[in-house]
A = this chain, B = another copy of it.
C-alpha cells in the first residue's frame, strides 16, 4: 500500500532509496473522521504520508475553520526536514484514513542515506506551494467557478495516484467541508453545487463526483492542469508517471 507514496515521489528515486523509504514508513496509523494528526501550536512533530482517506490542513479563523489544503493518498504531510519551529496549522482527518508514520530518528537516518529523497521531498513541497498559490488566486473568482476548479483539481490529483478517471471519482467529503475549503458557507456550497448540476457540469451522487464532460467542466472552471505537474515530464506527458 505504500506503493502510492513511491508513485507520487516519482521516477527520481533510486531503487535503493525506494527500498529504504518503504522500510521507514512501514508503520501505519489509523485516523477516525475528525481526528487531528497534528494541532496548530504543537512543536514540530513526526513525519507522515497519507495512504488512504482525505485529510486537511486547517487554521481557525474567527468562529470558522479555514481549510488550507487537502491531503490525498500519496501526499506528504510534513513537517519538512528543514523546519524546526512551531506548527502554524493543524492537520485533521476528514474521513477514515490511514497514514504512514516515520519515527523521527529513522527518518533522519533515511534522509542521510538516501540523498535523492531530500530532493524528491522538496519537489513535492514545491508542488504543494503551487497548489496553495492557485487556491489563493482562485479567491477572486465567484463561488461556482471555484467549486468547479476544486473538483477539477481533486480529480487530477487523484488521477495521479490512480484513484480517478475522466468520468468520476470517490469524494467522501460533506458540503460543509467543501465550503470550508472555498471560504463559503455550507448553504452556499449547496447552492453552488446545485448550480453546477443545473448546468449539467457535475453531479455528486452517493459520495461520488460524476462528470459528464471533463473538458467542458475544466473550461468553465478556467482550470489549467499545469500547476499540478510534479515532475517536469508530466507537463508534456502527464501519463508518464502512471505507467
Bound: A133/B61 CA distance, A: 12
Q: Which of B68, B80, B226 contacts A133 (CB 8 A)?
A: B68
Give the one of A128, A229, A232 with max B CB within 10 A: A232
B139 and A66: CB pair below 8 A? yes
Which residues of chain A in 122-165 are interfacial with respect to chain B, using CB atoms and an 8 Å cutoff?
122-123, 126, 128-130, 132-141
- Given A88-B226, A132-B132, A226-B88, A82 contacting B123 (CB threshold 8 A): yes
Residue of B nearest to A229 (CB): B85
Q: Is the interface of A mostly helix, strand, loop or mixed?
A: mixed
Q: Which of B66, B128, B130 contacts A136 (CB 8 A)?
A: B66
CB distance from A164 to the nearest CB of B (A): 22
Any B CB within 8 A of the CB of A222: yes
A232 and B129: CB pair below 8 A? no
- Given A139-B66, A139-B183, A183-B140, A133 contacting B57 (CB threshold 8 A): yes
B227 and A140: CB pair below 8 A? no
CB distance from A218 to the nearest CB of B (A): 15
Band of interface residues on A: 35 or more
Residue of B nearest to A131 (CB): B88
CB-CB under 8 A from A140, the residues of chain B are 61-62, 64, 66, 183
Q: Which of B85, B126, B135 contacts A232 (CB 8 A)?
A: B85
Any B CB within 8 A of the CB of A188: no
Any B CB within 8 A of the CB of A22: no
CB distance from A6 to the nearest CB of B (A): 19
Any B CB within 8 A of the CB of A86: yes
Any B CB within 8 A of the CB of A173: no
Any B CB within 8 A of the CB of A59: yes
- Given A85-B229, A227-B88, A80 contacting B126 (CB threshold 8 A): yes
Any B CB within 8 A of the CB of A119: yes
4 nearest interchain CB pairs?
Answer: A82-B122, A59-B137, A66-B137, A140-B183
Please list the residues of chain A having a beta carbon within 8 angstroms of any beta carbon in chain B.
Answer: 57, 59, 61-62, 64, 66, 68-69, 80-86, 88-89, 119, 122-123, 126, 128-130, 132-141, 183, 222, 226-227, 229, 232, 235
| 19 chain-A/chain-B pairs, Cβ below 8 angstroms | A59-B133, A59-B134, A59-B137, A61-B141, A62-B222, A64-B140, A66-B137, A68-B137, A80-B126, A82-B122, A83-B126, A86-B229, A88-B134, A88-B227, A89-B133, A89-B137, A122-B122, A132-B132, A140-B183
